[in-house]
Structure 1
Amino acid sequence: MHPLLFHVGSWPVHTYGFLIALGFVCAVQIIQYLAKKSSLDAERVQDLVFSTLVVGFIGARIVYVLTRFSFFTDHPAEILKVWEGGLVFYGGPLLAIPYVVWFAKRYRLPIWRLGDALLPGLTVAHAFGRLGCLAAGCCYGRPTGNDYGIILNSELVDPEFRGIHLHPTQLYESAALFVLFAALLLIFRRRKFEGQVMLTYFMAYPIIRSIVELYRGDTIRGFVIDGVLSTSQFISLLVFVVAFAVLIYRLREVRDE
């Protein structure tokens, strides 16, 4: 854990917020590059990226606040302290996807090609975000006897898990996301049809998340079936099924063109 990175004068710079910002900067550069490669309107895409960041951030924060509703009811001022950690990833797409679809239709951007340009950048931003989770002490793992386990003493960690070795689930997911990013870039260069990169992401990430969930120890994320199926695993299952169905539809659509 290293929640506080440094100070600028009297202003604290939190590691979580810094890594989120770094991930966003990297994502913007990647998306702009891929947008140009895809013959998309780079200026429109840049506008979309910045506005989607705000929409997705709000969605991710809202869902997190709902998971700790009683705490934030007693401490409403804490809702705004996003730089200290506290985002639920799936809450972001919940608002961002409808917004991106609306934006694409509004400005006549080809949605499949647009998705292929956006998702690699999103993957990198997410990977940096998970490193931020490690620094903040959230999204932690279950106890482990392995030597690579990490010790977290954050207030975000359940008391019974403090001071003992835990699975570094933040690192598991971050590493997997960086690998996924490399795979998406490779697919982008060799794609057989528009939308292949986007649909690969929406099938691959749910698998990554579901596996990582097996080692997560934070009960705040909730369960659909207590101790068996977490909320994130349930959402991952739905996302995978929908993405697979859309892939079948897209393959038929491409075949008929």
Structure 2
Amino acid sequence: MLGNIQPLDRVFLHLGPITIYWYGVIIGVGVLLALYIATREAERRGLSKELFVDLVLFAVPIAIICARIYYVIFKWDYYSQHVSEIPQIWQGGIAIHGGLIGAVATALVFSKIKGVSFWKLADIAAPSIILGQAIGRWGNFMNQEAHGGPVTREFLEGLHLPDFIINQMYINGTYYHPTFLYESLWNLVGFILLIALRRVNLRRGEMFFTYIIWYSIGRFFVEGLRTDSLMLTETLRIAQVISLFFIALAIVLLIIRRVKGWSKERYLE
């Protein structure tokens, strides 16, 4: 029976010579839903919703490129021998940390050009970003990637997972931890937390710092279960090191901004 388990089809649609993969569709859905939520909140906060549309038009392509570059750099031993595969992001292989760095850098430049507070934009966008990440992890599910170490079917059934997830975690004769799901659920809880915090008149920037800290804590622990981690050394996982750095940076900046009086404005103002 186990030998008859077939993975879900990675292809969403064939349009003549063009193949559209579920990975790209899921990422696209995540971006659109995140944009919708951000534009609604932007209007409530007195900003034009077109502002976030313009930001996304720049930030998303740059984030994807940066996410791919980040991944390729740390997998250069492979890609130096397979250069033609570097643009093939539909096969998977983009690093969220690289995408975040690219998106934040884009938002910093964008806010300067538009004369809008970066922190105001970041606070509004924070729930949308983590929701997009929660949805995007299902692209990894369709590609059967970003999974953890071997487990038994009984273990997965003990988590009360539906059969379609259990079967998709059966890869080359072995069941694996659905770490994509763990991170997706963690991010979904983070989204709910950040939406709730919109009722709290936090100081400007602190919604974004909360996102960074929450996401990084979850990523640190989930990364420890994964088998496909980008490695800094034989024992150091890059994502865990970056997660710890982001947590420390967010806490330090939060404290400095309060002590220096740089965050007098509040979210609801």
What pairs with 1:63-82 in structure 2 (closer than 5 Å)? 63-82=70-89
Alignment match of 1:184 (pick from 194, 198, 210): 194
TM-score where L is the length of structure 1: 0.88
Cα RMSD (Å) of the superposition?
A: 2.0
| Aligned residue in 1 for 2:224 | 214
Unpaired runs of at least 5, structure 2: 1-6, 158-165
CA deviations 1:174-221 (Å, max 9, x no partner) are 1111111111111122233222211100111110101101211114x1
Q: Secondary structure at the match of 1:189?
A: coil
| Aligned residue in 2 for 1:106 | 113
Q: Percent identity?
A: 30
Amino acid at match of 1:182: I
Query: 1:25 Cα deviation (Å)?
Result: 0.8
Query: 1:47 Cα deviation (Å)?
Result: 0.6
Amino acid at match of 1:234: V
Q: How many residues align?
A: 246
Q: Secondary structure at the match of 1:27?
A: helix
| Aligned residue in 1 for 2:208 | 198
CA distance in 2, matches of 1:55, 1:254: 29
| Aligned residue in 1 for 2:162 | none
The answer (yes or no) to whether the contact 2:58–2:106 under 8 Å persists in 1 is no
* Runs of 4+ more than 6 Å apart: 254-257
Alignment match of 2:30 (pick from 23, 26, 42): 23
CA distance in 1, matches of 2:199, 2:186: 20
CA distance in 2, matches of 1:10, 1:58: 24
CA distance in 2, matches of 1:91, 1:191: 31
What pairs with 1:105-254 in structure 2 (closer than 5 Å)? 105-145=112-152, 146-148=155-157, 151-153=169-171, 162-219=172-229, 221-224=230-233, 226-227=234-235, 229-252=236-259, 253=261
Alpha-carbon distance change, 255 to 50 in structure 1, aligned in 2, over 3 angstroms: closer
Unpaired runs of at least 5, structure 1: 154-161
Amino acid at match of 1:166: Y
Query: 1:126 Cα deviation (Å)?
Result: 1.0
What pairs with 1:55-66 in structure 2 (closer than 5 Å)? 55-66=62-73
